[in-house]
Amino acid sequence: MSKSLALLFLAAVPYTAAAAPESFTVDPMHSSVNFAIDYGGLNIIYGKFTKFGAKFTMDRAAKTGSVDVTIETASVDSGDSDKGSRPRSRDDHLRTADFFNAAEFPRMTYKSSRVVFTGDNPSAIEGSLTLLGVTKPVALTIERFKCNPATATAKERCGTVAVGKFKRSEFGMTRGIPTINDEVALTISVQGILD
């Protein structure tokens, strides 16, 4: 009996090794970090960050994972980068101390503390957003998660869309409230390639 158990254990070893945490590096060409903010109840201003890096890990057997996103705040792009006949564009303004304060805080980060799985797939991320030197918990809901082999490399790739909301005033970004809404919607849409 004990011999059978030992054989069973040895047979399981390769599968345990295969289920070790996998690490993915985000492919920026197929990824984006976006935000949306209500402007005076009139419309919604959409923006994105063009420079960011992200990694995520996943242990499907243990149903654990981690997410680490670093965003260069000076890369903010709200679709108004050409000042035209005005002294400055909206993106110029967003980079100043009125909003992202990119000179003093060149990076904002999101780090997970826990990835929640529903069934075999991750469904939510608990973590902290650091913006303007302030770190606060921000939860993200994973709207979709899918993996398949990348066409070019045959390496596994996983794509996900994670959404969340936070109040910018909690991070000290108060300019323009309430005309420019306090609540910001964040969408992280990434494809990661298995390292």
Partner 1 sequence: MLALADHPAVQGGVAPLIVALVVAVALARTRFAWLAIVAGYATMVALSTGFSFSPLTVARKTVLLGLAAPLIGIAIDLGPRPSRAMMTALAVAAGVASIWVFMSILTQRDTLKGIAAGGGIAVFVALLVVSTLRLRDDGLRGGAAGLGLGLATGIAGVLSASIGYLVAGVSIAAGAGALLLVQVLLSRKIAPGVIGMLPVGLLTALFAAGALMLAELPWYALPLLLLVPLAVTLRAPERAPIIVRAAVLAGYSLVAAAVPILAAWYAARGSLS
Q: Are 186 and 138 in contact (CB under 8 A)?
A: yes
48 near partner 1 (CB under 8 A): no
98 near partner 1 (CB under 8 A): yes
Among 51, 55, 111, 175, binds partner 1 (CB under 8 A): 175
Q: What is the DSSP string of 130-192?
A: EETTEEEEEEEEEEEEEEEE-TTT--EEEEEEEEEEEEGGGGT--TTTTTEEEEEEEEEEEEE
Residues 116-135 touching partner 1, rule: CB under 8 A, are 132-134
Residue carrying the six token digits 């149903």: 63
97 near partner 1 (CB under 8 A): yes
Among 62, 114, 177, 183, binds partner 1 (CB under 8 A): 177
> Which one, 16 or 96, has the nearer CB to partner 1?
96
93 near partner 1 (CB under 8 A): yes
Task: Give dist(CA 72, CA 80) in Å, integer.
Answer: 18
Secondary structure of residue 12 in the 3-state scheme: helix
149 near partner 1 (CB under 8 A): no
77 near partner 1 (CB under 8 A): no
Which residue type does 109 have?
T
Binding stretches for partner 1 (CB under 8 A): 83, 85, 87-88, 92-93, 95-98, 101, 103-104, 106, 132-134, 172, 174-179
